[in-house]
Structure 1
Amino acid sequence: MGGRVRRLGPDRVAFLAALVAPLGVLGALVPFRDSLPNTSVVLVLVVIVVAVAALGNRLAGALAALWAAVWFDFFFTQPYQRFTISRPADIQAALLLLVVGLVVSQLAARARRLQVVTITDADYLTRIHDTAELAQSANAPETVVDHVTAQLPEVLRLRGCRFEYGTLIGHPPRLEQDGSVTWGRRRWDADQFGLPDTEVELCAFGNGRFYGRFMLDPTPGTIPPLQARLVAVTLADQAGSALDTAAGR
């Protein structure tokens, strides 16, 4: 009587992919590293991290991000085939890969819980990457806040956006962390009706502390998809983290 074939669950498959996929993809790209810019390689790795997190969970996504950063260092930073980095630009690229990978893995895991297609759109990933890079290099958190304020109208197709520092005032509709919209105690069907035709707040938190809110001015008749709303939440989180880092200095 033959033994039963043991099937691997999605989480185990995701952990296996987190260990194998970054190494396999980077190994395949090694012959082209002289012609491939590191930013392109980073975006490829971020897509892998997204796929792993969507298949498994946050921990699998975080492991994929860490492993991708390690093998990126080994294969694509000088001196090659050594776990050392000699150039500041390569150090920054490796750190950004880790930061962006962790951020996007959280986003992908959140999308997976909502049973939606995970975010692999290059434009969305580039916006998250650019904001993370700015947060690493900006001397003032206001620079990151201004950057996100300029990004949100493009992501959500808004008429405008502004940022308010300080405490919450009033009870406008709110874009929540899971991409849903609430208005008072009611849930607004953003997938069918888009954002309400009034200012919508998107709060910026850093380490659990409230620092302000982005006030969104929706364009009537537009329906930003859930993916776009999740990206907007992630950008706001990055601004909140920048403000929290500055407050702790």
Structure 2
Amino acid sequence: MRMSLRNRIALAAALLAPLVVALALVPFRTHMTSANLALILVVVVVAVATLGSRAGGVAAALSAAAWFDFFLTRPFQRFTISHGDDITTTFLLLAVGVAVSQLAAHARTLKLVTVTDAAHLARIHETASLVQAGGSPYAVVDQVGHQLTEILGLRGSRFEHGTLLGRHPRLEQDGSVTVGRAHWDLDKDGWPGEEIELRAQVGGRYLGRFMLEPEPGTVPPPLQTRLVAVSLADHVGAALDTTGPVLDR
């Protein structure tokens, strides 16, 4: 799985930022207590954790503890510590840095989930309102097609009307993907390497399907997002059932 640009930047910052800050603190190491020097490095760890992943925060905490030992405790420029208090401070720096970085990363994740949930709810509400208003099935199909492309990170999608559905990998109602009759492990294997069928249905009747075209090499979205996609497709089924079939254009 490829690391995102954001996480690559965060990992580089995790390795380099504590080193740069520790070097900047060298002129002050004889005038400041070890605890104060360590607190400054904890701030660096938190900054890195808010930028990247949990792994980046842990890497920053390890880097901060190592450079604190090397530059800011006696004997200087050696990975040894001669004073017991400095040993304690180093371990506390590492422990606090890891703990705080995890909290920062978790807070960022919760914020992302909240924002994502709100956006998904808005899409579902927008589509449901269009269906309830008796909107053209063309408009509903087009709107959902654009939404599916956006939320699933697709190259594109198209809608095929009718009940004669061929054999393609299928995005099921529970958000899983099947190939033939076998379950496909999205987390391990990514998207199947071909178009994926998402059926538009109502009351157990199939009225058409979206053919989803994943972008090669992309990571499938989480289950929550896939379930939103299923719900959007079902709104298309409701629109077709209420207003009649979508004719070929």
Task: Please report the TM-score for the alignment, with normalisation by the length of structure 2.
Answer: 0.50
Instruction: Compare CA radii of gyration and give the structure with the larger one.
Output: 2
Task: Please report the TM-score for the alignment, with normalisation by the length of structure 1.
Answer: 0.50
